Structure 1
Amino acid sequence: MSKTKKVAILYGGRSVEHGVSVNSARNIFEYINKDLFEPLPIGISKTGQWFLTSGVTKDIEQGKALGLILDAQRPGFTLLSSGDRIKVDIIFPVLHGTDGEDGSIQGLIKAMDIPMVGTGVLGSSMSMNKIVAKRLLKEAGIPVTNFVTFHYTEKDKISFKSISEKIGVPFMVKSASLGSSVGVSKVKDEETFKTAVDEAFRYDDYMIAEEFVVGREIECAILGNHPPQASYPGEVVINSKYEFYTFDAKYVDPDAVKIELPAKLEPAEAERIRELSVKAYEALSCEDFSRVDLFLTQDGKIYINEINTIPGFTNSSMYPMMWKERGIGFTDLISRLLELAQERYDRSKRIERDFNSALKF
């Protein structure tokens, strides 16, 4: 890539994971190879306004207000104060959760016809929705835990008894399309069940109840396309004061978890985890990079928990740590992701968008 590549780093967004996005983008802005790329931080406020910021900051609205140029012949952004056009060569979305990781931003960028890092519309939307993802993984023969699903219109009919008979107690209740353990609860009885259902529907119209798995929390980083590569797995060892991997355990409490890199696994276990992670990545049409979260039980069973198509890049995030353990540092990893995005965009130009026929219009 030439030294003139301008990279728009999208961060913030209208999501409960807004703060996590800011922290991830801050690291990408800091570690991107500035000899090769010129980073342009573009923050999206919690109300959905876009701003060009001088650096990655939580005070997004202090930046310069932007408009989007939805013209595939000359796409980009415009400063609302002056009308000046800002052209970018590639976009790196670092948006977690709703309106960032679910295919919506990916569709907008595709319409602008600008190269973009990460999974496109199809893979993003399928992976973000835990219900759709689990159904597709199950159809592909990839092991997932037992689950049941509900829409908000069924809220008053959801029964603790019927769910517990199907998947046992305790079980997990989750919003269908969120990450970072937001809208997630562990249910042990009727009282915790009602609170969990209210919490799940607070953030989504769909909820999923999943079988609780007693096992090790394993993660695997995937990088590349056709074929993708899997890192060696890592393990998240959670402090016993937490009953599961909560938001606070992930991002707030520095003593909540211990990271094992590489995870202490038998060679056959590690290889099976890597193999299943790649299969899940391909089954959900992921591109460029993702982090696969898995469970490993004491009797050796492996279950795919979920896939994160825009994994965190914070100081405590497993995705960059797993590649660092393999010898790929933060800066080189960012460069590789930008190269993958450009290569994929260039390949996409072979696809015809016009069809000559006898149709008159």
Structure 2
Amino acid sequence: MPDKSKTIAVICGGLSPEADVSRLSASRITPCLEQHYGRVVHLELDATLPEQLIAQRVDVAFPVAHGPYGEDGRLQGLLDIMSIPYVGSGALASACSLDKVVTKRLLQAAGIPMAKDRIVYRSDNCEDATLDCIESLGHKVIIKPPGQGSGIGVQFAMGYEDLLNKLKTGLQMDEKLLVEEFVSGREITAGVLHLDDYQVLPVTEITTPDGAWYDYIHRYTPGLSNHVTPARIPDEQYQKVQQIALKAHQILGCHDLSRSDFIVPESGDPIFSELNNLPGMTPTSLFPDGARHAGIPFDTLICKLVDQALKRGENPNDGKAYWPIPKLNIRPS
């Protein structure tokens, strides 16, 4: 039951390229929070945030600051230090989840199917790295900045010259790039709602009317993408997607919610792409759409997430004593 005495801080914006999208998420969840809780304040993810959190006497934070700074553990670490409970994963899980390379290495070790990849660093010889990518991954590849979300900076390359030019351009923006083999298939996603127990949401297929890749514009422009739920894939693949989404959520140590993306070929295992540890809440976002198909209205979803964070704040160690610390017989010098 929502507590009318609580002050909720919706944290959005910041230095991320996804700042505008995060403000859109914030504007969608705010009316729901205002209806069910005492006070709701919008706070920008900037240098004034700590003093604002104190001044506003915030009881719980709802971060919707997507991308770097808000989704990579830095904001979560600040909230932990200030003992403010918050919706979503902790600092370590957030940091691991936003970094596509770290995510892949952790999940590969658990046997989750992935596209073959190569990491190219700014310090590498770009010509040699390009040849190596083509030899190991094939002539058609996809290039991803490791620490961005929403498809920002993602490029497709075909052949040596195209890949070389795009690597040189990309490495001016990032210290390293993730290059993956191109896998053909349907774009599929599945969310995990993790409250008292785990619930894997219905699997969704993403299509675009013009057959284009699901890029930043198609993600957030109404009418430029369609969500087909349940996804039109065989039952065996459908169940495998849900199993992997849950396994990824657990291995990375996520809390409350996550959404895993896949490429599902005509036959065989779904290929895991990435995990979003703080899914968007915009009108075109996939996670709330998946929850709706699971019978969870948007208002109910938002309140459940806030109440879970409040409960976690009341019992930071789940009622268990911490490890006993031996006393040191040390005198100040």
TM over 0.5: yes
Equivalents in 2 of 1:241, 1:234: separation in Å? 17
| Partner in structure 1 of residue 220 of structure 2 | 251
Tell me by how many angstroms 1:156 deviates.
Answer: 3.5
Cα 1:17–1:353 change in 2 (3 A) is farther
| Partner in structure 1 of residue 98 of structure 2 | 128
The counterpart of 1:337, out of the listed 296, 305, 308, is: 305
Structure 2 unmatched ranges of 5 or more: none
| Partner in structure 2 of residue 68 of structure 1 | 50
Q: Which amino acid counterpart does residue 248 of structure 1 have in structure 2? A: I
Is 1:88 matched up with 2:58? yes
SS in 2 for 1:102: coil
The answer to which of 334-343 and 147-156 deviates more is 147-156
**Share of identical aligned residues, percent?**
29
Is 1:150 matched up with 2:151? no
| Partner in structure 2 of residue 10 of structure 1 | 11
Q: Which amino acid counterpart does residue 259 of structure 2 have in structure 1? A: R
Is 1:111 matched up with 2:73? no
| Partner in structure 2 of residue 21 of structure 1 | 22
Equivalents in 2 of 1:212, 1:102: separation in Å? 26
Equivalents in 1 of 2:127, 2:80: separation in Å? 40
Q: Which amino acid counterpart does residue 251 of structure 1 have in structure 2? A: Y
Q: How does 1:222-301 map to 2 (within 5 A)?
A: 222-225=192-195, 227-242=197-212, 244-252=213-221, 254-301=222-269
Q: What is the CA deviation profile of residues 226-256 of structure 1, one whole-angstrom value per residue up to 9, with x for unaligned ones? A: 64210010010134452x221122123x443
The answer to which of 260-269 and 162-171 deviates more is 260-269
The counterpart of 1:166, out of the listed 104, 117, 136, is: 136
Is 1:214 matched up with 2:190? no
Cα 1:199–1:287 change in 2 (3 A) is farther
Is 1:140 matched up with 2:110? yes
| Partner in structure 2 of residue 77 of structure 1 | 53
Aligned residues: 328
Structure 1 unmatched ranges of 5 or more: 51-66, 70-75, 79-84
Q: Which amino acid counterpart does residue 3 of structure 2 have in structure 1? A: S
SS in 2 for 1:124: helix
Equivalents in 1 of 2:79, 2:164: separation in Å? 40
Q: What is the CA deviation profile of residues 16-70 of structure 1, one whole-angstrom value per residue up to 9, with x for unaligned ones? A: 11111111111011232523342111123xxx344xxxxxxxxxxxxxxxx524x
TM-score by length of 2: 0.92
Q: How does 1:179-198 map to 2 (within 5 A)?
A: 179-198=149-168
Q: Does the aligned pair in 2 maintain the 1:184–1:196 contact within 8 Å?
A: no
Cα 1:94–1:110 change in 2 (3 A) is same
More relative contact order, 1 or 2 (CA 8 Å, 6+ apart) = 2
Tell me by how many angstroms 1:199 deviates.
Answer: 4.4
Equivalents in 2 of 1:132, 1:158: separation in Å? 24
TM-score by length of 1: 0.85
SS in 2 for 1:343: helix
SS in 2 for 1:32: helix
Q: Which amino acid counterpart does residue 287 of structure 1 have in structure 2? A: H
